[in-house]
A and B are shown apart, each in its own frame.
Chain A
Amino acid sequence: MSRALKITLGILLVAVAAGGIYVRGLQRRISQLGKPQQTEAKARREVIQAPIATPTDVKVKAKLYWVSKENQGALEAVETELPLSAEPAVRAKQLINALIADVPSAGQRVLPADLALLELYLLPDGTVVADFSQALATETPSGIWSEQMAVDSIAHTLEANVAGARRLKILVNGQETETLAGHLDLTDFFELHPVEPVPSEAKPAPKVELTPPPAPGKLKN
């Protein structure tokens, strides 16, 4: 075999090897592109809402309100075991995060998957101020009933699990907005009616299911 032929074969082998590596890389990139893209809000939620854990966390059976499996137009309580803080504001955050992230099935979702709870405050008078990302306004299905269900899922979950929560104020991106998604009034407070006692390890909450229609949160001036 001549020297020139050997050099040519060598170059060809290197080119084939390089081509193989390039094609494999290209395949990896194509498969990554095929995966669903994360929205900005979802990515932000994952950063902001790393699971909240506190030293006082205790696993309890909490009652979370999602869409009923039997009736898509109603909510029902689902008992879910969650590590919840003894500190009410942190507990409320953990619960709302679970409402968004731990939906039992896709058909039971009430709050948008991309929604992020940006901040939550519990004021001394029992007012819970929940500040959500823009997805609350843009991705909650527009309509009186669907918006009412979104508010009720938050309100009833707080009522059932957070002692001392008396009323709820919903903000979007830190601002008061006129409506949730075009219908429900967010300029006022939603009155909460806490169920006592709230769930604990010693005394699990009584199993009570909402029957349609769910009681809407009432406004209090």
Chain B
Amino acid sequence: MVVIDPAHGGADTGARGEGGTQEKDVVLVLARVLRSELQRQGLQVVLTREADTDRSLDDRAAAGNAPRRGIFISLHVATVGLPGTARTYFYPAPSGATGPLAQGIRLVPWERAQEPFAAASRQLAELVQVQLGQKLRGSPEVPAAAAVRQLRIVAAPAIAVELSSIAAEKKELEQLAPALAAAIARGVSDYLAASRGGVR
């Protein structure tokens, strides 16, 4: 199962462009297009929100943690960056893990939920970014590590994809949805193939 998280919502508009474009609206459209693309691949897909509603980061992470073998994809729109490009992020792996997870204790603290999935998340991010580089020209060649709060508390391979930028009109950003969705879906497909067995 793939859990798609259209960031923000409700009173939390996310980034806002001078022309009135709001991140929360754009990412919901992107999420719906991505859902269709992933469903075409035969994957089960869940959105953390279906409408303009605000959900806490913990609630969204809980949705991502519910499926036993899922993938979590958080969608964002940036305030900076080359228009029409996108960058993928994964949560940085902690240096020198010495805590309970390293000692083999299975009870995972909420704040360290992502830790066991750091390598998988990075691999997923790399495969998605390769596709973004091809479908959205000018996108970076490699993903970036960033301490995105939302990813830290997800116990699954988890990435955030940020489209640039909110300065564009909503319609312009929505026109990028098919290319963005195709790139992410192809990256997910490659990841599943690489990890043998998949999450279907």
Interface of A with B (CB < 8 Å)?
72-73, 141-146, 148-149, 151, 178-179, 182-185, 187-188, 190-191, 212-213, 216-221
Check if A182 sits within 8 Å of B99, measured CB to CB: no
Check if B12 sits within 8 Å of A144, measured CB to CB: no
Check if A184 sits within 8 Å of B80, measured CB to CB: no
Knowing that A141-B79, A151-B147 touch, tell me 16 more A-B residue pairs with CB under 8 angstroms: A72-B81, A142-B14, A142-B16, A142-B79, A144-B162, A145-B162, A146-B78, A149-B80, A178-B57, A183-B146, A183-B148, A184-B148, A191-B95, A213-B144, A217-B147, A220-B94
Q: Given A72-B80, A144-B89, A178-B57, are A219 and B144 neighbors across the interface (CB < 8 Å)?
A: no
Give the one of A72, A73, A178, A183 with max B CB within 10 A.
A183
Check if B79 sits within 8 Å of A146, measured CB to CB: yes
Contacts of B150 in A (CB 8 A): 183
1/0 per residue, CB under 8 A from A, across B147-172: the answer is: 11110100000001010001000000
Q: Which of chain A's residues has its CB closest to B79's CB?
A: A141
A190 vs B160: C-alpha distance when bound (angstroms): 19
Residue B145 interfacial (CB < 8 Å):
yes
Residue B67 interfacial (CB < 8 Å):
no
Q: How large is the interface on B (under 10, 10 to 19, 20 to 34, 35 or more residues)?
A: 35 or more
Q: Which of chain A's residues has its CB closest to B140's CB?
A: A213
Residue B76 interfacial (CB < 8 Å):
yes
Closest chain A CB from B80 CB (angstroms): 5
Contact partner of A183 (CB less than 8 A), chosen from B76, B92, B99, is B76
Contacts of B78 in A (CB 8 A): 143-146
**18 A-B pairs, CB-CB below 8 angstroms?**
A142-B15, A142-B23, A142-B79, A144-B76, A144-B87, A145-B81, A145-B144, A145-B146, A178-B57, A183-B76, A183-B149, A183-B160, A185-B149, A187-B111, A188-B111, A190-B147, A218-B95, A219-B147
A142 vs B94: C-alpha distance when bound (angstroms): 25
Q: Which of chain B's residues has its CB closest to A147's CB?
A: B146
Contact partner of A216 (CB less than 8 A), chosen from B8, B23, B82, B147, is B147
Q: Which of chain A's residues has its CB closest to B151's CB?
A: A185
Shortest 8 CB-CB contacts between residues of A and residues of B: A141-B79, A185-B149, A185-B147, A143-B78, A143-B79, A142-B15, A218-B92, A179-B149
Contact partner of B144 (CB less than 8 A), chosen from A183, A187, A191, A216, is A216
Check if B112 sits within 8 Å of A221, measured CB to CB: yes
Check if B146 sits within 8 Å of A182, measured CB to CB: no
A100 vs B79: C-alpha distance when bound (angstroms): 20
1/0 per residue, CB under 8 A from A, across B87-99: the answer is: 1010010110001
A143 vs B76: C-alpha distance when bound (angstroms): 8
1/0 per residue, CB under 8 A from A, across B1-39: the answer is: 000000110001011100000010000000000000000
Contact partner of B80 (CB less than 8 A), chosen from A145, A185, A220, A221, is A145
Contacts of B146 in A (CB 8 A): 144-145, 148, 183-184, 216
Check if A216 sits within 8 Å of B92, measured CB to CB: yes
Give the one of B57, B111, B147 with max A CB within 10 A.
B147
A190 vs B92: C-alpha distance when bound (angstroms): 11
Contacts of B89 in A (CB 8 A): 144
A178 vs B80: C-alpha distance when bound (angstroms): 22
Q: Which of chain A's residues has its CB closest to B152's CB?
A: A185
A34 vs B146: C-alpha distance when bound (angstroms): 42
